């Protein structure tokens, strides 16, 4: 375009240029000067360079003109004004410098509490922050990066050295972290370095240094963020009762800025995105590096991402016993992590790159090159480091390309920026030069004639310079020499004689200028020491000869070294494993599909009036049970022989804690605002293991850390689907309540959280529902008022906690309540009576047999353990006959697991009621299928074998209540997620793939690659808070409420 | 008078129903006892149909078919259609030491302070009035090895019979094993550190474990030297407590799950010549042949367990017994489930039978093998002549829930009560609701 400009307009352009340069702003800065003023324009012209203006335009033999820290011109024909320092950049490349959008450069890291975290410490209910801020210590939108930023050249230099010129920096602490400040990496006053004072607003799922109890879980964090969005809206109405709330005020102010969310994991990315979508915010998401495992889900968010290049190192797996503990998923992630940026590019997802998470910024460029090897294009990487972050932050008018008017932030390199051999020579920030590898500016490689002028006359040697740090000296022989060139100064030392004898170990006779390892070389002698200045092709200086006599020396350039022939870079052949769904050894390359299936000649446990049907066929079509009968045929169907086997409805576990990232929000006694659905983990290996135990649906409950816990989620075990895909669609929402020892924190030595007794539990319930009623009335009043013309608008604060309780009052949400002893069971029934709702299900309910009549009258279901007891005080009277008695009294009774292992054997748990109390086999079986379906209001779709119901079926090798029975096939919605053949295939795959990757890590180690010690992969098992198991080797069974201050 | 008797009986029954403390240990019985017509599972793999067992003075004196019955002064139990088994043995438990697991510190007597406690003896704290014992007896568990926990050396375990007035009464074999907890060779990540983004413990678990092993070996070396002295100026109770290990009168029970832990245990056998038993043994299937070669037995602490690693076969814990069986390793199956409180021992074995053992092998793992491991197989563990009459009778297959219903239990020849707190609460509330 520029080339097409007419001569006239060029002239005009030059005039403008001159004007710009000669008429800088004359305003004096406010800072007083101690000494004499030294104003400079800093006008430079970089000529004859290859200038890459941005990802699109590259100019060759062009000039970059800068002044006053800004770019004045970039083109092929600029008239270089007088007063400009000309820098000849022949053979050099100039690029806009990089931008790091996710930094905490120059921002203090807040101090954590000393002495570590003590979960037994008393709870902290309010924020410790002093001032008129909000109630939660982790919500601090008022933090203003520009107010706490200070220039720190020790941190800036390493970033400049790898090409960065500006960063967005913020305090990485808390859930709402306040605003980020966009700064250059210049070593100057903060006032001049800050480019944009408030450039972004930051969020995360981590409460950081907050010592406040709430939130104690991921779902609590999500609820807190959602509530804060609502509170901020409400705060706009200036509610009297709230007074001044600087946090909410700042939150509102920050909304106009780019919103950056640190999610750090593929599922968390989606969780963050959902919060954003709910409140109309498009986040820029800081990714975790595992997004390639669900790249389609990530692409669907339409968010922009920030990627770090922090790949895991290979582990040292030489010891097979160590290797055994490293999961295939961890090994596969090691192999595939460098594909992450490329998979973003391929999926067309906008992204930036950051140095965040790297232990040392020096890893950045090598890791970026690795990303190229794994498919990332250089052009896309360049954009990700320049234009994309600048555009996202709204600072593309200042940085991100080389255009007039922008900051003079640029790099001078000796070759194309991403080439392996290219080095950055200089990094200019705001018009100021920072040397990086200046010694490489001139190509000094070549032959020089070195003359030493000593008292005994001149001696000439040939100096062969190989690099800035290496040269050899030749007289008759090649002499041992040390050489160093830093771009200006030259230092050299060598021994002119060749002495072939070993050095005595403690020889100090000759006091050589350097410490030598004894016996490390054989050619040595006294040293000649030289030091001087390099001036173009002539170097000269002074020195001492071997006897310490002074000398002078001159070296003249003779000829350049032949350019090293770049050995053609071997095109890396990548042999990479495939991504599995879920990302686990038991995952699928291709998700199993719904099939038409005909099970022939099985004993069918219908759970309906027909009872057990011998030698019967069942046809499954479109995910539903299509036909039940004898001699069915369907040519298109996959036929499974059921002879001698039992076909049943899939097991439904009424009380489970699998498949979630957190289970307990124990920060408060009432947390009805939290939702298990917000933090589902569809990759929990226990999903697969339970399919292998015949489970098809699980009710994922909040734990028992508090009286009113969180909203639950019913899932189907669709192994391989994402967190949305495993949800049981269109079900009545439930919520978890809990009573007794856990909610009163019995195991804590110093509980300060109300309640501490069952008397208090009663009042927590009464108070919560009283508040909910009042809240409902307030809304009704406001709505009626706001319909009236001319009435002053009433604004009621929307409260997510009370919303859920109002749903209970209105029979739109249903309770499953953890309960043990008869007093508390009766009390909850009476509280429910008083407020006009029903307790849908009592879970655990180990003393249910004592008040079964009251539960029957109230209309509750019971979901209990078969034979657990005596693991704490409140279960001393638990009996294995509980289910039988409750069933005989007429309750709808379920047997549940509350335990990832026991869930694999719920058929056996049900069978125990045959032993204890003589329940019939069919009734016992219903306790793990039809009865939980009824308790969960989904018996119209699952729980029995009936035409039209979901094809959630299990084919058993034996009577399903027998201890010898094993599931052979488990299907959900007519899709087979487990069968014995598929399981064998998984085992074979795991064994082969593990072996391949162990070998690959070993060869990485042998070839000298960096490794880390083998670190065992562990499984986290979340529990209700009732029990802990410890026999597994590396299983972490932890109750989330251990994580809160009790 | 009849009415009064009826009333009195009714009151008695009511009392019994209300207070489980009225479940009495049975008085010793020295007469003859016959169990007839049952299917006898001997415990060593053998099954005898329609068999008779003759017991005299607490000992089995005949087992087989066509045994004449002495009608004088004898008891007779007709086991027609029923299954007869040796009493089940719980090989490792805190029964009687921990009554209420959580939140009630006063009920806990299973873990002493200190690291090297070979002199700690579980038997002296064993509470025969624990309400849990009765629920085990009712399921056919007649013997249990009561074990202290904690520290590197926890102390000695003793085998008790489950129908006793006090611990001296209960003692079946005292101080038979010293328990050593092998340190872990892997770091378990700290969840709090993870949650709060703090650095993990950087220490090297292998180095730490080896240091601990060194300390333990040093203890035994010094104990050995001390015990070789005929007299001592100062008596060392801890050294005295391990004398039985060197005399082979006691076994060393090494609690270990990881391969490396078990390899160190094998090394203990080689250096000190102890009789070593592995307790735990999650990974024993990986070194079954080594265990066999070194004559190391295993107590599989808990069958109903999740696989140790994410990539392990989902049924690995269930099939470990069959892998040990194939390799010829002596092993017992245990139940250490803290919430059902050890009463599912036979179902742990049943699962092993579902995953590769024969039913009789599975039975052996909770009877004769357990007796061998505990060093009491000369007295119990199978229904063989000369052994104590520790026998149970079940309505059907004891390994399967639906038929594992005990009708009689006999300890040392006396038929013991199957009543317990749970059966009594059951009766009490069936009564409340007028149910049958």
Give the mean pLDDT of A31-50.
Answer: 92
Residue A513 has pLDDT above 80, yes or no: no
What confidence tier does B190 reach under pLDDT thresholds 50, 70, 90?
low
A173 Cα to chain B: minimum distance (Å):
11
Residue with tokens 């979508």: A277
User: Given the DSSP bridges, would you call strands A478-479 and A481-485 parallel, antiparallel or unpaired?
Assistant: unpaired
Distance between CA atoms of residues A906 and A929, nearest Å:
10
Q: Which of A137-151, A456-470, B49-63, B328-342 has the lowest mean pLDDT?
A: A456-470
Q: What is the pLDDT of residue A837?
A: 97
B:156-185 residues touching chain A, CB 8 A cutoff: 185
Give the mean pLDDT of A254-270.
Answer: 97
3-state class (DSSP) for residue A591: coil
Residue B8 has pLDDT above 80, yes or no: no
Q: What is the mean pLDDT of chain A?
A: 90
Residue A520 has pLDDT above 70, yes or no: no
Residue B163 has pLDDT above 50, yes or no: yes
Nearest to A196 by CA among A168, A177, A170, A173: A168
Q: What is the pLDDT of residue A118?
A: 56
What confidence tier does A776 reach under pLDDT thresholds 50, 70, 90?
very high
Q: What is the pLDDT of residue B134?
A: 97
B388 Cα to chain A: minimum distance (Å):
28
Nearest to A21 by CA among A56, A62, A58, A73: A73
3-state class (DSSP) for residue A397: coil
- The 10s digit of each residue's pLDDT in A143-185 is 999 999 999 999 999 999 999 999 999 999 999 999 999 999 9
**Alpha carbon of residue B298 to chain centroid:** 13
B139 Cα to chain A: minimum distance (Å):
10
Contact criterion met (CB below 8 Å) for A564 and A558: no
Q: What is the pLDDT of residue A560?
A: 78
Pairwise pLDDT comparison (A37 vs A424), residue with the higher score: A424
A583 Cα to chain B: minimum distance (Å):
12
Chain-chain contact of A1032 with B305 (C-beta, under 8 angstroms): yes
3-state class (DSSP) for residue B247: coil
Give the mean pLDDT of A401-423.
Answer: 95
Residues of A in contact with B197 (CB under 8 A): 206, 208
Q: What is the pLDDT of residue A9?
A: 54
Distance between CA atoms of residues B147 and B157, nearest Å:
4
B:323-362 residues touching chain A, CB 8 A cutoff: 336-341, 343-344, 347, 350-351, 353-354
Chain-chain contact of B306 with A1019 (C-beta, under 8 angstroms): yes
Residue from A679, A913, A1033, A1043 whose CB has the most chain B CBs within 10 Å, to mutate: A1033
Q: What ipTM does this complex have?
A: 0.94
3-state secondary structure string across A467-501: ECCEEEEECCCEECEEEEECCCEEEEEECCCCEEC
Q: What is the pLDDT of residue A501?
A: 46
Residue from A820, A928, A963, A1026 whose CB has the most chain B CBs within 10 Å, to mutate: A963
What confidence tier does A564 reach under pLDDT thresholds 50, 70, 90?
low
Chain-chain contact of A1018 with B430 (C-beta, under 8 angstroms): no
Give the mean pLDDT of A681-694.
Answer: 97
3-state class (DSSP) for residue A309: coil
What are the angstrom distances between the C-alpha of B108 and each of A140, A740, B133, B149, B156? 46, 21, 15, 11, 17
What confidence tier does A884 reach under pLDDT thresholds 50, 70, 90?
very high
Chain-chain contact of A871 with B400 (C-beta, under 8 angstroms): no
Give the mean pLDDT of A365-371.
Answer: 96
Structural element, H or E, at residue A710? strand A708-711
Residue A519 has pLDDT above 50, yes or no: no
What confidence tier does B72 reach under pLDDT thresholds 50, 70, 90?
confident
- Give the Cβ contact number of residue B70 at 10 Å: 13
Q: What is the pLDDT of residue A509?
A: 43
What are the angstrom distances between the C-alpha of A781 and each of A234, A239, A603? 17, 17, 60
Provide the b/e sequence for A934-953 (b: ≥16 CB within 10 Å).
bbbebbebbbbbbeebbbbb
Residue B6 has pLDDT above 80, yes or no: no
Contact criterion met (CB below 8 Å) for A998 and A323: yes
Q: Does B282 touch chain A (CB under 8 A)?
A: yes
Q: Which residue of A has its CA nearest to B188?
A: A1034
User: Strand runs (DSSP E) across A751-804, as ranges?
Assistant: none
DSSP secondary structure string for all residues of A29-63: PSS--SS--------EEEEEEEEE-SSS-EEEEEE
User: Given the DSSP bridges, would you call strands A93-96 and A351-354 parallel, antiparallel or unpaired?
Assistant: unpaired
What confidence tier does A112 reach under pLDDT thresholds 50, 70, 90?
confident
What confidence tier does A565 reach under pLDDT thresholds 50, 70, 90?
low
What confidence tier does A454 reach under pLDDT thresholds 50, 70, 90?
confident
Q: What is the pLDDT of residue B73?
A: 72
Q: Which residue of A has its CA nearest to B199?
A: A116
Q: What is the pLDDT of residue B192?
A: 58
Give the mean pLDDT of A327-339.
Answer: 96
Residue from B210, B315, B429 whose CB has the most chain A CBs within 10 Å, to mutate: B429
Residues of A in contact with B309 (CB under 8 A): 324-325, 327, 1017, 1033-1034
Say what the alpha-carbon torsion angle A829, A831, A832, A833 is, to the nearest 10 degrees: 90
Distance in angstroms between the alpha carbons of the first and the last residue of chain B: 29
Residue from B339, B356, B358, B423 whose CB has the most chain A CBs within 10 Å, to mutate: B339
Distance between CA atoms of residues A647 and A873, nearest Å:
41
User: Given the DSSP bridges, would you call strands A612-621 and A597-605 parallel, antiparallel or unpaired?
Assistant: antiparallel
Give the mean pLDDT of A46-55.
Answer: 96
Residues of A in contact with B400 (CB under 8 A): 911, 962-964
Q: Which of B189, B306, B426 is opposite residue A1032, by nearest beta carbon?
A: B306
Chain-chain contact of B422 with A880 (C-beta, under 8 angstroms): yes
Chain-chain contact of B282 with A1021 (C-beta, under 8 angstroms): no
Residue from B313, B344, B397, B401 whose CB has the most chain A CBs within 10 Å, to mutate: B401
Give the mean pLDDT of B126-131.
Answer: 96
Q: Which residue of B has its CA nearest to A889?
A: B433
Residues of A in contact with B403 (CB under 8 A): 915
Nearest to B114 by CA among B147, B155, B145: B155
Chain-chain contact of B336 with A1031 (C-beta, under 8 angstroms): yes
User: Given the DSSP bridges, would you call strands A93-96 and A98-103 parallel, antiparallel or unpaired?
Assistant: unpaired
Contact criterion met (CB below 8 Å) for A20 and A67: yes
Distance between CA atoms of residues A368 and A310, nearest Å:
10
Give the mean pLDDT of B296-312.
Answer: 93
Distance between CA atoms of residues A507 and B207, nearest Å:
40
Q: Which of B188, B351, B401 is opposite residue A914, by nearest beta carbon?
A: B401
Give the mean pLDDT of A582-596.
Answer: 97
Residue B170 has pLDDT above 80, yes or no: yes
Q: What is the pLDDT of residue A29?
A: 81
Pairwise pLDDT comparison (B72 vs A800), residue with the higher score: A800
Question: Which residues have CB under 8 Å from A989's CB, separation 6+?
Answer: A585
Residue from B309, B316, B333, B344 whose CB has the most chain A CBs within 10 Å, to mutate: B309
Residues of A in contact with B354 (CB under 8 A): 963-966
Q: What is the pLDDT of residue B71?
A: 83
Give the mean pLDDT of A1017-1046.
Answer: 48
- The 10s digit of each residue's pLDDT in B232-258 is 999 999 999 999 999 999 999 999 999
Chain-chain contact of B310 with A329 (C-beta, under 8 angstroms): yes
Give the mean pLDDT of A526-555.
Answer: 87
Residue B17 has pLDDT above 70, yes or no: no
Q: Which of A158-162, B7-11, B277-281, B297-301 has the lowest mean pLDDT?
A: B7-11
Residues of B in contact with A324 (CB under 8 A): 259, 286, 309
Give the mean pLDDT of A357-384.
Answer: 96
The radius of gyration of chain A from alpha carbons, rounded to an integer in Å, stands at 36
Residue A25 has pLDDT above 80, yes or no: no
Residues of A in contact with B304 (CB under 8 A): 901-902, 905
Residue A7 has pLDDT above 80, yes or no: no
Distance between CA atoms of residues B428 and B426, nearest Å:
5
Residue A623 phi/psi, 5-degree rounding, is 80, 0
User: Strand runs (DSSP E) across A68-170, as ranges?
Assistant: 70-75, 85-88, 93-96, 98-103, 164-169
A654 Cα to chain B: minimum distance (Å):
18
Q: What is the pLDDT of residue B201?
A: 66
Residue B9 has pLDDT above 70, yes or no: no
What confidence tier does A464 reach under pLDDT thresholds 50, 70, 90?
confident
Q: Which residue of B has its CA nearest to A983?
A: B313
Give the mean pLDDT of B25-50.
Answer: 96
Q: Which residue of A has its CA nearest to B186?
A: A1016
β-bridge mates for residue A620, sequence order: A597, A625
Chain-chain contact of B354 with A1017 (C-beta, under 8 angstroms): no
Q: Does B18 touch chain A (CB under 8 A)?
A: no
The count of CB pairs under 8 A between chains A and B is 206
Give the mean pLDDT of B281-286.
Answer: 96
Residue with tokens 């070296």: A555
Distance in angstroms between the alpha carbons of the first and the last residue of chain A: 69
Residue A117 has pLDDT above 90, yes or no: no
Give the mean pLDDT of B144-170.
Answer: 97
Give the mean pLDDT of B321-330.
Answer: 98
- The 10s digit of each residue's pLDDT in A805-855 is 999 999 999 999 999 999 999 999 999 999 999 999 999 999 999 999 999
- Alpha-helical runs (H) found in A44-172: 145-148, 153-161
Q: Which of A853, A876, A994 is opposite residue B311, by nearest beta carbon?
A: A994
Residues of B in contact with A327 (CB under 8 A): 309-311
What confidence tier does A1033 reach under pLDDT thresholds 50, 70, 90?
very low
Chain-chain contact of B338 with A850 (C-beta, under 8 angstroms): no
User: Given the DSSP bridges, would you call strands A975-979 and A446-454 parallel, antiparallel or unpaired?
Assistant: unpaired
Q: What is the pLDDT of residue A26?
A: 56
Nearest to A266 by CA among A664, A682, A688, A728: A682
What confidence tier does B13 reach under pLDDT thresholds 50, 70, 90?
very low
The two most distant CA atoms of chain A are separated, in Å, by 119
Pairwise pLDDT comparison (A634 vs A442), residue with the higher score: A634
Q: Which structure tokens are listed for A623?
A: 């995910």
What are the angstrom distances between the C-alpha of B340 and each of A176, A325, B362? 45, 29, 20
Residue A1046 has pLDDT above 90, yes or no: no
Residue A758 has pLDDT above 70, yes or no: yes
Pairwise pLDDT comparison (B185 vs A815), residue with the higher score: A815
Residue with tokens 């339409």: A302
What confidence tier does A440 reach under pLDDT thresholds 50, 70, 90?
confident
Residue with tokens 């059966």: B423
Give the mean pLDDT of A488-500.
Answer: 76
């Amino acid at each position: 375009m520029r080339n097409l400009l007419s001569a006239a307009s060029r002239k005009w352009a030059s005039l403008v240029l001159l004007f710009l340069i000669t008429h800088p702003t004359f305003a004096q800065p406010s800072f007083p000067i101690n000494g004499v003023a030294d104003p400079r324009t800093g006008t430079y012209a970089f000529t004859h360079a290859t200038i890459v203006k941005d990802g699109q335009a590259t100019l060759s033999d062009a000039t970059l003109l800068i002044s006053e820290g800004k770019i004045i011109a970039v083109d092929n024909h600029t008239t270089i004004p007088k007063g400009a320092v000309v820098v000849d950049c022949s053979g050099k490349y100039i690029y806009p410098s990089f931008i790091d959008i996710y930094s905490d450069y120059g921002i203090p890291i807040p101090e954590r509490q000393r002495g570590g975290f003590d979960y037994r410490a008393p709870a902290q209910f309010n924020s410790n922050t002093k001032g008129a801020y909000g109630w939660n210590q982790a919500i601090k939108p008022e933090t203003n990066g520009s107010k706490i930023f200070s220039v720190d050249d020790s941190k800036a230099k390493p970033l400049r050295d790898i090409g960065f010129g500006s960063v967005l920096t913020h305090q990485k602490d808390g859930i709402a972290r306040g605003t980020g400040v966009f700064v250059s990496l210049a070593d100057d006053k903060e006032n001049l370095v800050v480019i944009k004072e408030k450039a972004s607003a930051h969020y995360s799922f981590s409460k950081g240094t907050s010592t406040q109890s709430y939130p104690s879980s991921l779902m609590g964090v999500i609820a807190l963020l959602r509530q804060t969005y609502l509170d901020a809206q409400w705060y706009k109405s200036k509610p009297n009762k709230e007074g001044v709330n600087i946090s909410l005020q700042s939150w509102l102010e920050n909304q106009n800025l780019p919103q950056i969310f640190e999610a750090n994991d593929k599922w968390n990315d989606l969780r963050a995105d959902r919060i954003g979508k709910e409140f109309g915010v498009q986040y820029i998401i800081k990714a975790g590096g595992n997004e390639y495992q669900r790249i389609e889900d990530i692409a669907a968010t339409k968010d922009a991402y920030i990627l770090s290049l922090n790949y895991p190192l290979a582990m040292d797996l030489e010891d097979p016993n160590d290797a055994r503990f490293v999961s295939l998923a961890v090994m596969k992630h090691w192999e595939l992590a460098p594909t992450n940026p490329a998979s973003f590019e391929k999926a067309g997802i906008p992204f930036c790159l950051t140095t965040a998470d790297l232990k040392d910024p020096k890893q950045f460029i090598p890791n970026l090159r690795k990303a190229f090897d794994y498919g990332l294009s250089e052009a896309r990487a360049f954009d990700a480091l320049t234009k994309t972050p600048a555009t996202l932050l709204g600072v593309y008018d200042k940085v991100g390309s080389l255009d007039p008017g922008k900051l003079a932030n640029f790099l001078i390199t000796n070759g194309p920026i991403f080439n392996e051999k290219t080095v950055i020579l200089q990094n200019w920030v705001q018009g100021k030069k920072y040397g990086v590898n200046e010694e490489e500016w001139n190509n000094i490689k070549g032959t020089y004639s070195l003359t030493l002028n000593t008292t005994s006359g001149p001696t000439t040697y040939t100096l062969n310079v190989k690099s800035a740090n290496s040269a050899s000296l030749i007289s008759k022989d090649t002499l041992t020499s040390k050489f160093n060139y830093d771009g200006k100064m030259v230092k050299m030392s060598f021994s002119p004689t060749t002495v072939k004898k070993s050095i005595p170990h403690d020889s100090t006779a000759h006091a050589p200028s350097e410490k030598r390892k004894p016996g490390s070389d054989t050619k040595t002698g006294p040293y000649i020491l030289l030091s001087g200045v390099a001036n173009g092709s002539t170097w000269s200086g002074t020195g001492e000869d071997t006897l310490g006599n002074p000398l002078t020396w001159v070296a003249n350039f003779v000829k350049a070294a032949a350019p090293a022939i770049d050995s053609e870079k071997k095109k890396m052949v990548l042999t990479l494993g495939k991504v599995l769904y879920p990302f686990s050894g038991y995952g699928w390359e291709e998700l199993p599909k719904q099939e038409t299936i005909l099970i022939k000649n099985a004993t069918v446990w219908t759970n309906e009036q027909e009872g057990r049907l011998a030698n019967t066929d069942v046809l499954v079509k479109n995910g539903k049970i299509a036909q039940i009968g004898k001699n069915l045929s369907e040519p298109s169907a996959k036929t499974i022989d059921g002879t001698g086997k039992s076909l049943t409805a899939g097991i439904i576990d009424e009380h489970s804690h699998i498949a979630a990232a957190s289970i307990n929000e124990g920060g408060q006694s009432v947390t009805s605002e939290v939702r298990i659905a917000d933090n589902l983990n569809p990759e929990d290996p226990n999903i697969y293991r339970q399919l292998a135990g015949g489970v098809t649906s699980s009710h994922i409950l909040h734990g028992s850390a508090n009286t009113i816990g969180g909203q639950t989620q019913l899932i189907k075990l669709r192994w391989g689907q994402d967190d949305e895909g495993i949800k049981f669609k269109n079900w009545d929402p439930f919520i978890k309540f809990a009573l007794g020892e856990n909610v009163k924190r019995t195991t804590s030595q110093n509980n300060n959280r109300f309640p501490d007794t069952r008397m208090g539990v009663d009042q927590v319930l009464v108070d919560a529902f009283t508040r909910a009623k009042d809240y409902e009335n307030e809304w009704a009043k406001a709505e009626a008022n706001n319909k009236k013309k001319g009435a002053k608008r009433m604004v009621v604060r929307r409260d997510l906690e009370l919303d859920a309780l109002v749903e209970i009052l209105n029979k739109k949400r249903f309770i499953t309540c953890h309960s043990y002893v008869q007093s508390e069971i009766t009390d909850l029934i009476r509280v429910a009576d008083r407020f006009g709702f029903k307790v849908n299900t009592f879970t655990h309910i180990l003393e249910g047999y004592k008040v079964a009549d009251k539960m029957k009258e109230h209309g509750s279901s019971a979901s209990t353990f078969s034979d657990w007891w005596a693991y704490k005080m409140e279960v001393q009277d638990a009996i294995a006959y509980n289910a039988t008695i409750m069933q005989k009294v007429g309750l709808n009774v379920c047997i549940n697991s509350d335990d990832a292992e026991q869930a694999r054997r719920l058929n056996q748990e049900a069978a125990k009621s045959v032993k204890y109390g003589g329940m019939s086999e069919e009734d016992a079986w219903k306790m793990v299928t039809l009865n939980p379906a009824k308790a969960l209001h989904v018996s119209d779709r699952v729980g029995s074998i009936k035409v039209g119901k979901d094809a959630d079926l299990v084919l058993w090798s034996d009577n399903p209540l027998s201890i010898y029975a094993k599931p052979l096939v488990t299907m959900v919605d007519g899709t087979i997620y487990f069968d014995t053949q598929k399981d064998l295939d998984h085992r074979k795959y795991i064994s082969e793939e593990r072996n391949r990757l162990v070998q690959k890590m070993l060869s990485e180690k042998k070839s000298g690659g960096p490794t880390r010690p083998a670190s065992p992969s562990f499984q986290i098992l979340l529990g209700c808070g009732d029990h802990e198991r410890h026999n597994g080797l590396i299983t972490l069974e932890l109750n989330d409420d251990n994580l809160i201050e009790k | 008078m009849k009415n009064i008797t009826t009333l009195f009986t009714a009151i008695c029954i009511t009392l019994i129903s209300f207070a489980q403390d009225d479940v009495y240990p049975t008085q010793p019985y020295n007469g003859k006892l016959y169990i007839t017509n049952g299917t006898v599972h001997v415990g060593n793999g053998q099954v005898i149909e329609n068999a008779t067992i003759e017991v005299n003075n607490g000992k089995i004196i005949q087992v087989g078919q066509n045994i004449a019955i002495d009608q004088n002064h004898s008891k007779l139990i007709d086991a027609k259609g029923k299954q007869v088994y040796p009493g089940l043995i719980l090989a490792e438990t805190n029964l009687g030491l921990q009554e209420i697991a959580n939140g009630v510190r006063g009920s806990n007597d299973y873990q002493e302070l200190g690291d090297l406690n070979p002199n700690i003896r579980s038997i002296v704290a064993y509470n025969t009035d624990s309400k849990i014992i009765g629920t085990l007896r009712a399921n056919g568990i007649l013997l249990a090895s009561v074990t202290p926990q904690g520290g590197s050396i926890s102390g000695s375990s003793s085998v008790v019979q489950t129908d006793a007035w006090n611990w001296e009464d209960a003692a079946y074999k005292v101080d038979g094993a010293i328990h050593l907890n092998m340190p872990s060779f892997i770091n378990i990540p700290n969840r709090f550190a993870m949650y709060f983004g703090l650095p993990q413990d950087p220490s090297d678990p292998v180095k730490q474990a080896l240091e601990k092993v060194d300390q333990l070996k040093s203890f035994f070396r010094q104990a050995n030297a001390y015990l070789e002295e005929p007299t001592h100026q100062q008596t060392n109770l801890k050294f005295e407590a391990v004398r039985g290990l060197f005399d082979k009168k006691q076994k060393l029970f090494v609690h270990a799950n990881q391969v490396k832990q078990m390899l160190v245990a094998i090394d203990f056998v080689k250096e000190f010549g102890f009789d070593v038993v592995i307790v735990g043994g999650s990974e024993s299937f990986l070194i079954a042949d080594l265990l066999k070669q070194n004559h190391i037995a295993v107590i599989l602490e808990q069958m109903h367990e999740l696989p140790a690693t994410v990539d392990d076969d989902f049924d690995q814990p269930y099939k470990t017994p069959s892998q040990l069986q194939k390799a010829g390793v002596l092993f017992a199956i245990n139940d250490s489930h803290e919430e059902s409180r050890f009463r599912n021992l036979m179902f742990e074995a049943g699962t092993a039978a579902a995953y590769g053992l024969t039913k009789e092998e599975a039975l052996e793992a909770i009877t004769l093998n357990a007796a061998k491991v505990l060093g009491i197989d000369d007295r119990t563990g199978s229904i063989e002549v000369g052994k104590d009459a520790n026998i149970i009778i079940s309505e059907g297959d004891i390994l399967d829930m639906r038929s594992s219903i005990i009708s009689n239990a006999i300890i040392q020849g006396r038929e013991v009560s199957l009543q317990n707190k749970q059966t009594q609460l059951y009766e009490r509330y069936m009564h409340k609701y007028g149910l049958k």
